[in-house]
Amino acid sequence: MKKMGILGPRGTHSEAAACYLNGVLETPCEMVEYGEIFEALAAVSEGEVETALVPVENSLEGAVNITLDMLARSDDLQVLRELIWPVHNQLMAKPGMRDIRRIFSHPQPISQCRAYLREHCPEAELVKVSSTARAAELVAGEPAGSGWAAICTARAGEINGLVPLAAEIQDNMANCTRFFLVGRRSDQPSFAGADKVLIICQIDGKRAGSLCEVLEEFAGRRVNMTRIESRPARTELGEYIFFFDLDTDVEEKVLLESIDAVKRKCIWLRNLGAFPVLRAGD
């Protein structure tokens, strides 16, 4: 059976997304937990697992930089699929707990639930930990009288014997996280069945108008860019690389022409994959 690396431990949003994806893949994978995104992607590069499902962007908090940086630095990786996962945050505690004094969670869920926390738990201390699953574990280890609660997934709470105090406490009900299923690079990514293409390039930032020239190559051919993200090139101060998500709703020939034209105006360019996009619940 093939293996899929995921960001553990059990009960995180990443694990929930991986379980969903595993259920719709033609061939389910054995899931292998890693403590860091870096470790999961390195395991793909080293052949320890065939794929890894990692977060790349949250609709409220923005890009997951370690994922982008790993994709940029590796010649071995490509994106095979995108999964859009709706985020659901629950406030959970041990049965019988009444007076909330401390709330544990990962920094992102805490930020995503600010309005609820300000209105309903203004006196509670907010404690940031490594994951929502870890938050549930910590709360489960204390007596109900401790006043500890966790913002976590329903699954994390159930695994640790917690019960919900309040459901769906995120400020934005449209909050979602984009995940990439990443595998080892093939000779040439196929456009068949793809909804998006992801390319990465470095332009000459010292030359005025260089980014505009790149964008014009796409716009002039009516290639739609759904996302642009920049990251430091790690060569010298002021040098950047750019990620472009491109729709595939144009002829393949036109799309390839635009990418080739952009490549001629870049220091370097790499195609990180052509892939389908799956939205959980569709």
Same domain, 18 and 37: yes
Per-residue pLDDT at 239? 79
Determine the pLDDT at residue 272.
Answer: 93
Q: Are residues 127 and 212 in the same domain?
A: no
Could you tell me the residue range of the domain that residue 140 belongs to?
90-166
Q: Is residue 207 part of a domain?
A: yes
State the CATH number of the domain containing residue 44: 3.40.190.10
Q: What is the number of other CB atoms lying within 10 angstroms of the CB of residue 237?
A: 6
Least-confidence region, from 15-19, 89-93, 127-131, 170-174 = 170-174
What is the domain count for the chain? 3
Residue 187 confidence class, pLDDT cut points 50, 70, 90:
low
Q: What are the C-alpha distances in Å from 94 to residues 106, 116, 144, 148, 275?
A: 19, 20, 5, 8, 42
Residues 14, 112 within the same domain: no
Question: What's the pLDDT at 161?
Answer: 96
What pLDDT, on a 0 to 100 scale, did the predictor assign at position 189?
64
Residue 208 lies in a domain: yes
Q: Which of 232, 229, 168, 155 is nearest to 199 (CA)?
A: 229
* d(C-alpha 245, C-alpha 198), whole Å: 5
Question: Is pLDDT above 90 for 9?
Answer: no
- What CATH number is associated with residue 211? 3.30.70.260
Query: Do both 75 and 134 map to the same domain?
Result: no
Say yes or no: 226 and 206 in one domain: yes
Segment among 26-35, 82-91, 208-217, 229-238 with least mean pLDDT: 229-238
Residues 197 and 277 in one domain: yes
pLDDT tens per residue, range 56-92? 998 878 889 999 999 998 889 999 999 999 989 999 9
- Same domain? For 71 and 181 the reply is yes
In a domain, 171, yes or no: no
Q: Are 13 and 65 in a shared domain? A: yes
**Cα dist from 18 to 89, 237, 246, whole Å:** 17, 37, 24
Q: Is residue 121 part of a domain?
A: yes
Question: How many residues are listed for the chain in this entry?
Answer: 282
Rounded to the nearest 5 percent, the helix, strand and coil shares of the chain are 30, 35, 35
Q: Is the pLDDT of residue 188 over 80?
A: no
Average pLDDT of the residues in 256-277? 93
pLDDT at 27: 86
pLDDT in tens, 19-64: 999 988 888 899 999 988 999 999 999 999 999 999 999 887 888 9
Using alpha carbons only, give the angle 123, 124, 125 rounded to the nearest 5 degrees.
Answer: 120
pLDDT, residue 208, reads 78
Residues 107-156: tens digit of each pLDDT: 989 998 999 999 999 999 999 998 899 999 999 999 988 999 999 999 99
Is the pLDDT at 236 greater than 80? The verdict is no
